[in-house]
Structure formats: structure tokens, C-alpha cells
Amino acid sequence: MYKNDLIKFSDIIRAKNTIKNYIVNTPLIYDHYLSNKFEAKIFYKAESIQRTGSFKIRGAFNKIYQSINSDDTNGILAWSSGNHAQGVAEAAKIFKIKATIVMPKDAPKIKIQGTKSRGANIIFYNRKTENREEIGRSIAESKNLIIIPPYDDKNVIAGQGTIGLEIIDQIKGYGLKPDKVLVPTGGGGLISGISIILKNKYKNINLYAVEPNKFSDYSKSIKYKKIFKNNVNNYSICDSLLANMPGKITFDINKNLLKRGLTVTDNQVLNAIKYAYHNLGLILEPGGAVALAAILNKKTEVKNRTLIAVLSGSNIDPKIFKKAIT
């Protein structure tokens, strides 16, 4: 059983009880076609149909609930390329507090619009020349706002870990135990929470962080047991996975739990989006499709294994979606 001093199993159980009436218990979908083709049992945890179109509301809601009293706060602040922004904005609406979001100028319009439509105030920055965290902390200090980090936070990680609890219940219904779980990874909050839960339940499970090949900081960091940074001038269509480097908290957890990192190309991601749409009836954004792309391209052995890929989001730019499915 895995134990750590920062986030306990009980923290994730508490998060589940906190958020359960505000989130979707998303389905675990069995892929008959690919399972037969690859002689495996392949499942997808469809967080792409979660409220706000990604898993992010889980951690955002839990963090806000644990951090604020709506009667005595000036509001909250977050920095995000879009999915965390929408999760925070949606949770702020529920709590009836003001949300300020620091977003990159080149964030997908669908994510900017989704954040604005939920009532958040957006402050834009240039991701290549400016540091969003420095901007955010300065604003939060001057306006007395509570910061809701995108991944490197105990309560955010606990919220994301509720996905792991759902996976345990759902896969049990098939009479199976997962051999491998593949998770889209940027800063590492999602896979941290899921890994804590699944490693407690399944001692021999292998967990994989899946990244765009030009943003492979987690793959390198896990391999060499020290934190690597990405080149900020690199490009990928996976806008939700472009964190500069692993979080300090998330890496401290993941370095002990993950088997290794896997990387996929943008073209492989586009093909995964196409596959999900035509074969599963699901819309995925690029970052949400990387784990599926890894399975489609056999980045890890699949034959005779039970695999689960987390499909983490669906907030895709219409132009990229059109390019992918045609």
C-alpha cells in the first residue's frame, strides 16, 4: 500500500463527499472493437463529458470549498490555459463569489468563451514572454484573492483523485482488475490523485503519464528522478498539457508511483480524436486524447492486458476538430 504524508486516502474520500452533488460520475466505456483487434480489454474513463467539458471541476470545487467562506472573501484567482479556468469559474458561480482568471492570449477561443460565459474576469498574458504564476500572485496579493492552483495543491489533487474511486467501483462491475492506466499529464495533478487511489487498491498496477512528445517533462523527470523543464518555444496542439514542468508536490508523489512516461505526436493525437468521434461517438480535445493515442499506437504492451485510458477533456477548437475528423 502506498502512503505519503501530504495526501491521504481519507482526503480523497472527503473530496468525494464534498463534490459528489456537483459533478458527473462519468462512465467507464468498454471498446469492443479495439479490444478484439488488440486482444486486450480496453476501457475509457470519459471525463470528456464531465461538467465544463473536463475533469478540472473536481479539483477546483474541492479546493474552493476547503479554502473559502463566501461571506468573507474578495474572490478567487487562478491561472489556466482553459480547462481549469472553466472549472474554477463554474465552481465560483456555485459559491456565488468572483473569479479572476489569468489566461494565455493564444488559448482556444472555445475555452476563453466558456470561461467568460461563466462570469469570470479574464486577464491575458503571453505564455512565451510572461510568467502566469508571477502575474497571478501579484494580482491576488494586491486584491486579497484566494489562489486556486491548477495542479500543485493538496485539495486540487484530492479532487482529481475521486476519478480513481469511480474507476475502482466501475471496473469491479466487469469482474476485472486494471493492469495499466494511462493518464494525460501536464502539471501532474490528475495522475497524482488517480495514482494514490489505484496504487492503494492494486499493488501491481502500472500507471503511465502520457504527454505530447515536445512537452515530455514528466517522462524525463520520472526516468531520471529529477525535475526537467520544457522548452517554452516548443509547440503542440495539446494546449491543456503545456505546463512548463512538473509540480513540486505532484512530482514528489508521482516519482514513487508511476511506471514511466509515454509520448505521442500531434498527428497521432489527431488520429485519436478521429477514432473517438467515429468509433466511440465522443468528442475529445487534443490533450484529452493523448492516452487513447498511446493505446492506438501501442506505446505500451496491450495484448492480454486490461487497460484504462482517461479521456480528460472535450473543449476542442472547431478548426482542429474539423481537421481531425475529415
Whether 311 contacts 106, CB under 8 Å: no
What is the reported pLDDT for 127? 86
Q: In the predicted model, what is the mean pLDDT of residues 155-164?
A: 99
User: Could you give the CA distance from residue 82 to residue 25 in angstroms, rounded to a whole number?
Assistant: 22
Of 236, 234, 211, whose CA–CA distance to 293 is shortest? 211
Among 205, 183, 196, CA closest to 157: 196
pLDDT band at 128 (very low <50, low <70, confident <90, very high): confident
| Contact between residue 230 and residue 215 where contact means Cβ atoms under 8 Å apart | yes
The total number of residues shown for the chain amounts to 326
Phi, psi of 210, rounded to the nearest 5 degrees: -110, 130
Model pLDDT for residues 52-78, shown as the tens digit of each residue: 999 999 999 999 999 986 556 789 999
Domains 9-55+153-325 and 56-147 agree in fold? yes
Q: Which CATH number fits domain 9-55+153-325: 3.40.50.150, 3.30.420.40, 3.40.50.300, 3.40.50.1100?
A: 3.40.50.1100
Please state which of the four CATH numbers 3.40.50.300, 3.30.300.30, 3.40.50.1100, 3.40.1010.10 is assigned to the domain occupying 56-147: 3.40.50.1100
Q: Alpha-carbon distance 113 to 130, whole Å?
A: 22
Other CB atoms within 10 Å distance of the CB of residue 322? 10
User: pLDDT tens, 285-300?
Assistant: 999 999 999 999 999 9
The C-alpha cell of 60 is what? 477546483
pLDDT value at 5 more than 90: no
Alpha-carbon distance 213 to 113, whole Å?
Answer: 28
Give CA–CA dist 252/249, Å, rounded.
5
Q: Please name the residues in contact with 148: beta carbons below 8 A apart, sequence gap of 6 or more.
A: 60, 63, 64, 67, 76, 77, 78, 84, 88, 156
Query: What is the band of 6 on the pLDDT scale with cuts at 50, 70, 90?
Result: confident
pLDDT at 81: 87
| Mean of pLDDT over the chain | 96
Residues 6+ apart with CB under 8 A from 169: none
H or E, element range at 181: strand 180-184
C-alpha cell at 3: 502512503
Domain extents in the chain: 9-55+153-325, 56-147
